[in-house]
Amino acid sequence: MKIIKSIGLLLFIAGFSIFISTFFSANYKLSEDVLSAQLGDAAKIESFKEHADFIGESITSNFAFVAKLDEVFRSVNQEKLSQFGISEPEIDKLVNSNQGKFDISTISLFGDDETGQYKQKTFKDYGGWLDGREFGSQEEIRSQISNVVENIKKYQIVNEKGFDKYKIKDLKYSITKASSMGKVSDSPGLFLLLTYVLCIVGALMYILPKIEDGPPGIKNNGIFHSAMKNVGWLGILTGSFLIVFYIVLYFYPEYMTNWIIMVDPVSQFLKGSDAGRFFLYGFIYTLCILVMGVRMIIKYRHSKYQIVRTFSVMFFQTAFAFLIPEILLRLNQPYFDFKNIWPLDYDFFFDNELNTLMANGSIGVFMLGWGIALIIIGVPVFVYFFGKRWYCSWVCGCGGLAETLGDPYRQLSDKSLKAWKVERWMIHAVLAFAIVMTGGVLYTYWTGSSELFGVSSYDVRSVYGAWIGAGFAGVVGTGFYPLMGNRVWCRYGCPLAAYLGIVQRFKSRFRITTNGGQCISCGNCSTYCEMGIDVRWYAQRGQNIVRSSCVGCGVCSSVCPRGVLNLENADSDSRFSEPLLIGNDGVKISS
């Protein structure tokens, strides 16, 4: 058994090393074909080519290649701006031609050649409203004109003649992926085997023999002596890797194209097209839940609650989050995760999402109705009957990852009263942010106006997307597993958890019951509560645990050596019992 485990570990390390090395080992060659396929627009292809001296050349690192692309985009934009942008001397002239009052006809001074006409046209579009305005001073005129000129540069020229920042982000990724040469892009299937498959096999060989590690029971030996599970060097290393991985995934996908190419065969098989970064993400995510789900089941094999629950998260991730949406795409239907609920699914009400659903006839409308029904009926009704666990530790993908990949780190959550205070502020602030953001989005959707109280709803949504959607839920949410426990996002950030929690706290049949006077205050329950609930505080005074954050994972009940805790659904009025420790007949005092 030990040998199998060691071989498994070696295979895993081998697969992982190959995976890492492919990040650094790609070769890139930008061809004309790739360029025309990616850019489309002939004029842009031309200007790109003018500035790119490396077409057809082989470049041996992703950093170098991406830097070159960056340089091309920068110089194209610079050239276009100096060519089509209104210059400082021209601004001076314009200011001088307008004394006290602005007259739009003065823009004829830009001239009548091609660029002059362009300048006139764009100025009219962006600054037409200045016509006839009176100004107290020349300074004011200058500042208004300069603003207009800046806006033209920022919103018009880079977009029309050059490349705006969104386009650059997309292009960097797609050009890099298409230009990738070398072993990985030659035989992605082989590398799929050498990395992902090798890691899975290795991990399973390491995990499966644990079934022989003695009779079923609590297997927490050595956790706080472990370099991995007690924020030792291995934990810090793992956390750092996860954090970097997420940052690259969300913000710099152009560097990880080799990793994506390897899953192209899987993507082709499932949906008939190449993989994108979020396909890669979904793929790895699902694998982690499945493999670590097996570990979870073996570890808690004495507890049917844990077994059934783990199967549930494995199923919902694989079927609902991963397979069904891809199959829908293959059937030319909108991508849709039937178990994702707003506001966790924060872009559910974004205009592009709504438009896609609306454009897809009855199935799209059904999806829209389904999503809304989950929010307004599903959440309260199910939480009433079962507590928020029905979602957070049985269905949700974030929860699924936390309960499987994250299980080895559950003991790292902060149990202090202070952390609880911070948690309540933070999670409800994120919920409020999500509601405001979505309100703005819908306002824009219905009125067509992007400004609300002087703020652009597009800015708000992109801030939410970057800071909450990617930064908090992804980078911090998972990257901090080995540092702060497996539920950082669910506890401090998830707006859906906040909503589920409010219902759970105020109207639900769910509670954790404590068993009379049996608690010995040992602290196992609090230690292993991933949500940082000080379970013992309640148990040792004989009080039911009714907390908005409890995700009902049931691990407190599993680890309790005295059989004190039980997750139960019962009459919702009996939840808030007086603390009562059975046993002392001489006194009846609440502890």
Partner 1 sequence: MKHVVIIGNGIAGVTAARHIRKLSDYDITIISAESDYFWSRTALMYVYMGHMKLKHTQPYENWFWEKNRINLLNDYVKTIDHASKKVVLDKSEAMSYDVLIIATGAKPNKFGWPGQDLEGVSGMVSQQDLAYIEKYTKNINRGVIVGGGLIGVELAEMLASRNIPVSFLVREEEFWDNVLPQQEASMISRHIREHHIDLRLRTELKEILADENGRVKAVITGDGKEIPCQFVGLTAGVSPNIEMVKNSGIETKRGVLVDEFMETNIPGIYAIGDCAERRTPAPGRAPVEQVWYTGRMMGETVAKTICGEKTEYLPGHWFNSAKFFDIEYQTYGRVWNKLKENEAEFYWEHASGKIAMHFVYDQTSKKFLGVNTFGIRLRHEVFDRWLKQEADIFTVLSGLREANFDPEFFKRYEEEIVNAFNAAHPGKEVVLKGKKSIIEKIFG
Residue 525 contact partner, candidates partner 1, ligand SF4, none, CB within 5 to 8 A by sort of partner: ligand SF4
User: Which of 340, 526, 548, 549 is in the footprint of partner 1 by CB under 8 A?
Assistant: 526
Helices 495-506 and 379-386 pack at an angle, to 10 degrees, of 50
d(CA 262, CA 268): 11
Determine, following the binding rule CB under 8 A, whether residue 570 of this chain makes contact with partner 1: no
Considering CB under 6 A, how many residues would be counted as binding ligand SF4?
Answer: 15
Give the nearer residue to ligand SF4 in terms of CB position, either 489 or 538: 538
Please, what is the minimum distance in Å from the beta carbon of residue 584 to ligand SF4? 17
Measured in whole angstroms, the distance separating CA 11 from the mean position of its chain's CA atoms is 29
Contact string (CB under 8 A) for partner 1, positions 539-558, x = contact: -x-------------x--xx
Phi-psi region of 301 (alpha: psi -120 to 50; beta: other; left: phi over 0): alpha
- Specify the DSSP element, H or E, that contains 69: helix 62-84
d(CA 265, CA 282): 15
Give the nearer residue to ligand SF4 in terms of CB position, either 261 or 525: 525
Q: Which stretch binds partner 1 (CB under 8 A): 235-243, 299-307, 341-349, 448-456?
A: 299-307
Give the nearer residue to ligand SF4 in terms of CB position, either 494 or 535: 535
User: Which of 111, 216, 272, 361 is in the footprint of partner 1 by CB under 8 A?
Assistant: 216
Quickly tell me which residue has 């609590």 as its tokens: 218
Give the nearer residue to partner 1 in terms of CB position, either 400 or 542: 542
CA separation (Å) from 284 to 205, 241, 275, 344, 373?
18, 14, 12, 20, 30
Contact string (CB under 8 A) for partner 1, positions 373-412, x = contact: ----------------------------------------
Tokens of 185: 């892009």
User: Which of 297, 470, 484, 564 is in the footprint of ligand SF4 by CB under 6 A?
Assistant: 564
Q: Give the torsion sign (CA, 13, 282, 237, 18).
A: positive
Residue 535 contact partner, candidates partner 1, ligand SF4, none, CB within 5 to 8 A by sort of partner: ligand SF4
Residue 340 contact partner, candidates partner 1, ligand SF4, none, CB within 5 to 8 A by sort of partner: none
Residue 589 contact partner, candidates ligand SF4, partner 1, none, CB within 5 to 8 A by sort of partner: partner 1
One-letter amino acid of 143: S
Give the nearer residue to partner 1 in terms of CB position, either 302 or 330: 302
User: Which of 136, 215, 448, 454 is in the footprint of partner 1 by CB under 8 A?
Assistant: 215
Residue from 564, 555, 216, 179 nearest 402 by CA: 555
Tokens of 492: 């401090």
d(CA 472, CA 468): 5
The three-state (H, E, C) secondary structure of 114-167, written as one string: HHHHHHHHHHHHHHHHHCCCECCCHHHHHHHHHHHHHHHHHHHHHHHCCCCHHH
Quickly tell me which residue has 């970064």 as its tokens: 277
**Non-local CB neighbours of 127 within 8 Å, separated by 6+ positions:** 104, 144, 145, 148
Contact 19/259 with Cβ under 8 angstroms?
A: yes
Residues 503-562 that bind ligand SF4 (CB under 6 A): 519-525, 535-536, 539-540, 560, 562
Q: What is the largest CA-CA distance in the chain?
A: 102
Q: Which stretch binds partner 1 (CB under 8 A): 61-69, 204-212, 323-331, 578-586?
A: 578-586
The three-point CA angle 262-167-115 to 5° equals 150
Residue 557 contact partner, candidates partner 1, ligand SF4, none, CB within 5 to 8 A by sort of partner: partner 1
The residue ranges that bind ligand SF4 (CB under 6 A) are 519-525, 535-536, 539-540, 560, 562, 564-565
The residue ranges that bind partner 1 (CB under 8 A) are 214-218, 220-226, 302-305, 307-308, 416-417, 513, 515-518, 520-524, 526-527, 536-537, 540, 554, 557-559, 561-563, 566-568, 581-587, 589, 591
